């Protein structure tokens, strides 16, 4: 019984260490209205191509301004006219905070394939 208790204690210690390592890297995301964010685009076949194909295509586009918060995990973005066909509300996991001046960004040529 003594060995079992020792093993259980060691497991608890190890789990506690692993948990603390995980929480250091994990951060709670929350944006404010008028923040600038990048939008994650998934390279799906036949949906949208942003200038380049394959591995060289951008993973994030933007930056775009947050116009409204919807619930705890969704935000409405002010999208340009080229993205008028895209619904403007996105889950927080699809957004990445813009850390620089958004006026310094360049425009991508957006091609819609059908």
Residues 6+ apart with CB under 8 A from 49: 57, 111, 112, 113
**More reliable by pLDDT, 34 or 44:** 34
pLDDT at 60: 87
Q: Considering the chain, what percentage of its residues have pLDDT values greater than 70? A: 75
pLDDT per position as a tens digit, 58-92: 788 889 999 999 998 999 999 999 888 889 999 99
User: What is the distance between the alpha carbons of residues 43 and 87, in angstroms, rounded to a whole number?
Assistant: 17
- Check residue 14 and report its DSSP letter: H
Structure-derived torsion over alpha carbons of residues 85, 60, 30, 83, reported in degrees to the nearest 10: -10
pLDDT at 88: 94
Pair of tokens at residue 104: 């310094």
Predicted model pTM: 0.64
Half-sphere exposure of 102 (CA within 13 A, CB side): 13
Provide the residue ranges of all domains of the chain, joining segments of one domain with +. 36-112
**More reliable by pLDDT, 9 or 30:** 9
User: What is the distance between the alpha carbons of residues 79 and 49, in angstroms, rounded to a whole number?
Assistant: 17
């Amino acid at each position: 019984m003594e060995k079992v208790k020792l093993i259980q204690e060691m497991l608890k210690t190890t789990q506690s260490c692993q948990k603390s390592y995980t929480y250091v890297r994990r951060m709670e995301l929350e944006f404010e209205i008028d923040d600038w964010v990048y939008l994650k685009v998934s390279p799906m076949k036949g949906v949208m191509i942003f200038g380049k194909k394959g591995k060289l295509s951008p993973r994030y586009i933007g930056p775009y301004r947050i116009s409204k918060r919807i619930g705890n995990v969704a935000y409405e973005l002010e999208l340009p006219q080229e993205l008028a066909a895209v619904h403007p509300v996105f889950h927080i996991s699809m957004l990445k905070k813009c850390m620089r001046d958004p006026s310094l960004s360049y425009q991508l040529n957006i091609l819609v394939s059908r």
